[in-house]
Structure 1
Amino acid sequence: MKQKVHNDEPSEQDSLNREKYAKAFANLTLNCETPMVVGLYGSWGTGKSTLMKLIQGSLDQTKTIPIWFDPWQHQFDDNPTLALVHTIIEQCNLKDSKKLATVIASALGYSFLKTVSNISVKDIEHFAKKYEEDNFLLREERVKLKDYFAELITNIVKGTDKRVVFFIDDLDRCMPEQVMKLLESLKLFLNLPNCVYFLAVDHDAIEQSIEYYYKSIDIRERNYLDKIVQLPFNIPPVFNDSINDYITPLLPNDLIGCRDILIEGLSGNPRELKRFINTLIFNHELSKESRIEEYDPKVLSVILLIQSSEKDLYKIVSNNPSTLIEYINREEGVSHGFDQILTEKDKIKRILASLKIPDERILGQYLYQTRLLSTESDIGNVQLESVLSRHRLWLESNGDNGEIANVSAISIVNTNLTNINFSHAIFEWSVLTGTDFSYSNLSSVNFRNVDASSCKFKKVDVVNADFENCKFKSASINSCKFSNSVFSGSNFSDSQLNDTVFLDCDFRNTKFVDAKMKECELKNSSFVGANFNSMNFDEAHLDSCNFSRANFSNSKLCAKDLSDTNFSHAILFNCDLSRSNLSGADFSHSNLSEANLTGCDMSGTVLFGTDVRNVKGLTIEMIESALHDESTLFDPYIRDKLVHENW
């Protein structure tokens, strides 16, 4: 491995522009009233330990004595307070305080000191007894604990006015019982003059420990912590300028070009930044060794960003890389299934908008390299049978037993799924190419964003299903009936639709480019914005549908009853409408140029703002029977004739 991968230790260098906070806290240790407990609050990885290191480095060593204590390293000891006593003795080299430590051990329980100080139980009992007789007589040891700790602090400062500054780290990683023991000690025994405590914790985690420990008592967690901490300080977020300063030294030279993507896409959590950069460095080296075609580290960094922060999105992309290519290359303003996943995620949208991926094959190499194309996304026959078995039980028990089949974001390719009741099943974002669903029940299924290319559907009755943004390219749909179902944004290009009924369905913005439709019935359905370019409707029946803003360029709609149909703002360039009944149809603001209207009934047809130039078969009689005005675009010779006849 050529590149340096970074460890996770707290840094003593200020790369997040936090030196000003460190200096302020260092000054505070000398000027505040004591005892003082400062709470440095921040979630995992926000730089609490690093800030304490910076504070420690900013202390006036002639006026302070720093002591660093990590209770997590002692969480399995009997009492973290004893561990703190041992830390004080070790870091301050207080050999003469050994007897005092044994008394504290006796008061709190001496098993810890036995393990860390190599003092026998016999010695502890002897020292404790002797010290008690000489100094505390018959007073209860626990009552005098604060005096014991005060004496220990006196031994540290040795008659000077120095302040003892404690840095307590990783307390929130301990078990609730250990957390509470140390907090109780801070409140009862350690609130001593000349002592300043910096407590670096995840506020929420500590509150959860308090809540768990006192679960049988009605106590307010925040109030409890506030009684211990006099100065709370929330670690400030890391802004983009600071992120730039932080990650630049971590990135090798050949990854500096990814810096803006990382600043835009990553959170300001220093630990997460470092972990991501380590992942990027490692995968960058692997990608170079794997010789990915036209390799671009920026593409790799974006794929890793998706993997780490948008798990639903990368699961989909890993199974169907073409979806990401389509999203990136879509025309401006065109909706895509990813829009819902990326709602309110403008950062990822901006990053993807700037991305250039040559093709699906090369994208697949990145996905493979970053372990996105894992076998966990596939579903074997045994697992599928288990899912379907539980689904059958759910259906048979009316939902009392079993569970709805959820086979979303998986790959089931070229599989025989005929004659199965999939009612209410969830297939969202799955790749089902070439699968046969003939004779199956797909009512109320969730097929959103499914790739059903080349699938077979024969004698399938569907009610209330959701096929939004589904791919039916080159699919075969025979003798089916779809009622009250949603197909908006779907793609039926190059598909074969035979003897099929679509009743009360939503086909807004659906593509039927080069599809073949034979003996099909489209009734009471919305095809607003649909694309029927080059489609043949010769053997289709259209009844009470809305084709507003649809594209029928180069299509055949011959001999159809299209009376009272809405074609407003539609494109019917070079469309063959010959011998059709267009009476009462609304073509306002549509493009009918070069269309064939030979033999059409246009009585009451609305042509306001319609382009009817170069139309074949259009006669003055047909125009006079239609509704038009000065906004209608006629050929000059027709307009002259209409003007001549006082139109």
Structure 2
Amino acid sequence: MWTDNETAQDFLNFGSVARTVAEVIEQAHSRPISIGVSGAWGVGKSSMIKLIRGELDARAKGAGEPDSHESGAESKFIFVEFNAWLYQGYDDARAALIDVVASALATEAAKRKTGIEKTKELLQRVNWFRAIKLTAGSAASLALGLPPMGVLGELWGVGKAVLSGEVDQEAIASADAAVDKISDSVGGLIKAKRAFSPPKEIEALRASFEGALDEMGVTLVVLIDDLDRCLPETTISTLEAIRLLLFLKHTAFVIAADDQMIKHAVKRHFQGVEDELVTNYFDKLIQFPIRVPPLGTQEVRAYMMLLFIENSGLQTDTKEALRVGVCSQLGKTWQGKRVDLKFLRSLHDKLPDELVARLDAADRLAPLMTTATGIAGNPRLIKRFLNALSIRMAMSRAQGVGVDESELAKVLLFERCGNPKAYAELIKSVTEGDDGMPNFLVPWEQRAVAGEALDLKAPWDDAFIAEWLRLPPQLGASDLRGALYVSREHAPLITPEDRLSAEAADLLEGLLEHPDMAASIKDRLVALARPEISVIMDRLLGRARREQEWGTPAILDACMVVAASDPLQSQRLAGFLKERPALQIKPSIVPKIADEPWSQSVFAAWAEDDEISKPVKNAIKARRGNGNVSVK
């Protein structure tokens, strides 16, 4: 198994890009710089961020300075990693970013014993910035030593105008009057006497940042990740904070995000803005745009091989030597050099037989993994494919099901990337035959391997099928019942022993393919026999286990409709939701299920679970307060 987290290990020769970024930052010589690392979901932006930090750390070491990440005492870089997605729903992203940066500088100043007073002043100004953004109730404000909300309300409007660049003289005068009121309640967020106005305070905040960095003699490198995962409001809030600190001396911002998603958020926020202005907004933030390189067949093959090597029993130094050799070879592929099994054996001539078999599979799968629309050379999707294969092989061993790994890999690839209707026909052929062999594939595979043209009808008429048929091993004469048995969480495996009626099978297929349309077949479900409804819920819950976020996924609609048709199934669904990991539960699920009679037990369990997030518990409390959910 492989984790789905970012890594500081370079499996794709991205190190060359990281070195380029580090070189740009280093050659800026304290001049402000902003770098955008763009690319689609899962292509390796987060890993690129890790590699950039590692390269800058290595350069600090090479200059005779210790690793700032470990000691933080003498390095010329201070790193701040900020993930706006983690703050979404808990804090204002703009204030959070400024707070995180200021706190990091204060910590570093204490370690280095320089710039301490400057960073204290900076923190005070950040407190002021937070104060004008607070929107909590007056009681909460007073508890924090802040003035009543009537006063903060005056500053709120002005603060919002400042950040949008719409402040006039009348607004500034209003802010000055409000500041006179605030001083008695707050007790002096900033002790030094000076004239208060939002523009002056924001400029002073910027000057404090610059002064602290100048006195400490360091470059602040802010690494921002997962911005494209955020809701538009959080995205814009973070971009505003970046704009507030951007282009200050001794700063470098590295922003990893899908630029198309960012532009979508900007367009959503500034409704009616033309595309050209949206592009200009983003381009003004980014001085140096860098795109994560797309993967070709060579890179995909190398990536898969290195993943298998990582999980092998080879010695750590041998794994590292192979990784370095592969990345070096990837840098020469433009010269016609190849990364394949032959090349790996030239680096290490005593590879274990089990590893060789997996490397050979990677060699054969790479072209399809690169071109298939369901994967398209995406590193995260490749890793998930290999994890799914690993899980199914583990299931086959645990249940004593004899499954050939290469056959299972080919079936899994078809399941993920092929036409769903064609996959359903494959399942039907296997389950209806006495020997479990999809014999109709035999002539197609023979012609594909021979290089002959294939004239296939829908749903088999696409380029992926032709490539898939050529991929070894040939499956037409293989018993695939075991492979489909361990794959049954994706699609129903209806065996002769577990046969549904034609009506039930039709409903199950509809629920799996169009779960959001489940309500339209509720009456037909009620008419089914109870054992058939139980089988349908089995299949739906199997599919539901693949969901990573429980807000309002479409599969929940299907499960709720089945639960409404049979009280026993409602208990099963309630039990299933209680078992979901706490981090997967999102506030939007609360109103979705609140009117269901079984939801009360789910809410009670979540309310008592310490790991369930505060927004979810607040949503439950709000429903109870409105009388939608009974209070126990």
Could you say which TM-score interval applies, normalised by the shorter chain?
0.5 to 0.7
Please say if 1:363 is aligned against 2:359: no
Please say if 1:223 is aligned against 2:280: yes
1:92 is paired with a residue of what secondary structure? helix
Please say if 1:301 is aligned against 2:412: no
1:130 is paired with a residue of what secondary structure? coil
1:376-455 equivalent positions in 2, closer than 5 A: 380-382=501-503
2:479 is paired with a residue of what secondary structure? helix
The AA in structure 1 aligned to 2:206 is F
Please say if 1:88 is aligned against 2:207: no
Q: Deviations over 1:253-273 (max 9, x none)?
A: 363332123322213211111
Q: 2:42·2:381 contact (CA, 8 Å) conserved in 1?
A: yes
Please say if 1:68 is aligned against 2:118: no
Question: In the TM superposition, what is the alpha-carbon distance from 1:199 to its structure 2 partner?
Answer: 0.7
2:441 is paired with a residue of what secondary structure? helix
Please say if 1:274 is aligned against 2:383: yes
Does 1 or 2 have the higher relative contact order (CA < 8 Å, sep 6+)?
Answer: 2
1:159 is paired with a residue of what secondary structure? helix
* Count of residues in correspondence between the two structures: 376
The AA in structure 1 aligned to 2:145 is K
Question: In the TM superposition, what is the alpha-carbon distance from 1:16 to its structure 2 partner?
Answer: 1.1
Question: In the TM superposition, what is the alpha-carbon distance from 1:50 to its structure 2 partner?
Answer: 0.5
Higher helix fraction (1 or 2): 2
Q: Deviations over 1:194-238 (max 9, x none)?
A: 211111011121121112112244453222211221111111012
1:516-531 equivalent positions in 2, closer than 5 A: none
Please say if 1:46 is aligned against 2:43: yes
Q: Counterpart in 1 of 2:330? A: none
**What is the aligned-residue identity percentage?**
22
Q: Counterpart in 1 of 2:290? A: 233
Shift of the 122–23 alpha-carbon distance from structure 1 to 2, 3 Å rule, reads: same
Q: 2:35·2:286 contact (CA, 8 Å) conserved in 1?
A: yes
Q: 1: CA distance between counterparts of 2:289 and 2:461?
A: 36
Q: Counterpart in 2 of 1:344? A: 463
Q: Counterpart in 1 of 2:55? A: 58
Q: Counterpart in 1 of 2:578? A: none
**Of residues 106, 119, 124 in structure 1, which corresponds to 2:131?**
106
1:198 is paired with a residue of what secondary structure? strand
Shift of the 105–358 alpha-carbon distance from structure 1 to 2, 3 Å rule, reads: closer
Q: Counterpart in 2 of 1:170? A: 226
Shift of the 154–110 alpha-carbon distance from structure 1 to 2, 3 Å rule, reads: farther
2:391 is paired with a residue of what secondary structure? helix
Q: 2: CA distance between counterparts of 1:337 and 1:260?
A: 27
Q: Deviations over 1:396-424 (max 9, x none)?
A: xxxxxxx9xxxxxxxxxxxxxxxxxxxxx
Q: 2:419·2:460 contact (CA, 8 Å) conserved in 1?
A: no
Q: 2:232·2:265 contact (CA, 8 Å) conserved in 1?
A: yes
Q: 2:406·2:473 contact (CA, 8 Å) conserved in 1?
A: no
Q: 2: CA distance between counterparts of 1:153 and 1:376?
A: 68
1:318 is paired with a residue of what secondary structure? helix
Structure 1: runs of 5 or more not aligned: 388-402, 404-647
Q: 2: CA distance between counterparts of 1:150 and 1:31?
A: 23
Higher strand fraction (1 or 2): 1
Q: Counterpart in 2 of 1:190? A: 246
Q: 1: CA distance between counterparts of 2:506 and 2:391?
A: 39
Q: Deviations over 1:571-622 (max 9, x none)?
A: xxxxxxxxxxxxxxxxxxxxxxxxxxxxxxxxxxxxxxxxxxxxxxxxxxxx
Q: Deviations over 1:158-210 (max 9, x none)?
A: 51442111100011111111111221232345332221111101112112111
Q: 2: CA distance between counterparts of 1:190 and 1:308?
A: 43
Q: 2: CA distance between counterparts of 1:105 and 1:201?
A: 26
1:192-591 equivalent positions in 2, closer than 5 A: 192-218=248-274, 220=276, 221-251=278-308, 252=312, 253=355, 255-266=358-369, 267-293=376-402, 295-312=403-420, 313-321=422-430, 322=438, 323-330=440-447, 333=452, 335-337=454-456, 341-345=460-464, 349-357=466-474, 362-371=479-488, 374=492, 380-382=501-503
Q: 1: CA distance between counterparts of 2:378 and 2:142?
A: 44
Shift of the 358–171 alpha-carbon distance from structure 1 to 2, 3 Å rule, reads: closer
**Of residues 130, 139, 147 in structure 1, which corresponds to 2:188?**
130
Q: Counterpart in 2 of 1:497? A: none
Q: 1: CA distance between counterparts of 2:204 and 2:250?
A: 14
Shift of the 111–171 alpha-carbon distance from structure 1 to 2, 3 Å rule, reads: farther
Q: Counterpart in 1 of 2:18? A: 22
Please say if 1:12 is aligned against 2:25: no
Q: Counterpart in 2 of 1:458? A: none
Q: Which moved more, 1:306-315 or 1:174-183?
A: 306-315
Q: Deviations over 1:450-492 (max 9, x none)?
A: xxxxxxxxxxxxxxxxxxxxxxxxxxxxxxxxxxxxxxxxxxx
The AA in structure 2 aligned to 1:57 is G
Using structure 2 for the length normalisation, give the TM-score: 0.53
Q: Which moved more, 1:276-285 or 1:216-225?
A: 216-225
Question: In the TM superposition, what is the alpha-carbon distance from 1:75 to its structure 2 partner?
Answer: 1.3
Q: 1: CA distance between counterparts of 2:258 and 2:423?
A: 30
1:237 is paired with a residue of what secondary structure? coil
Q: 2: CA distance between counterparts of 1:226 and 1:291?
A: 57
Q: 2:97·2:238 contact (CA, 8 Å) conserved in 1?
A: no
Question: In the TM superposition, what is the alpha-carbon distance from 1:342 to its structure 2 partner?
Answer: 4.8
The AA in structure 2 aligned to 1:39 is G
2:37 is paired with a residue of what secondary structure? strand
Q: Deviations over 1:429-463 (max 9, x none)?
A: xxxxxxxxxxxxxxxxxxxxxxxxxxxxxxxxxxx
Q: 2: CA distance between counterparts of 1:373 and 1:111?
A: 49
Question: In the TM superposition, what is the alpha-carbon distance from 1:297 to its structure 2 partner?
Answer: 1.5
Structure 2: runs of 5 or more not aligned: 61-67, 69-74, 108-118, 148-181, 313-354, 370-375, 431-437, 509-519, 521-632
1:167 is paired with a residue of what secondary structure? strand
Q: 1:42·1:235 contact (CA, 8 Å) conserved in 2?
A: yes
Question: In the TM superposition, what is the alpha-carbon distance from 1:81 to its structure 2 partner?
Answer: 1.7
Q: 1:40·1:48 contact (CA, 8 Å) conserved in 2?
A: yes
Q: 2: CA distance between counterparts of 1:119 and 1:18?
A: 52
2:223 is paired with a residue of what secondary structure? strand
2:290 is paired with a residue of what secondary structure? strand
Q: Deviations over 1:511-549 (max 9, x none)?
A: xxxxxxxxxxxxxxxxxxxxxxxxxxxxxxxxxxxxxxx
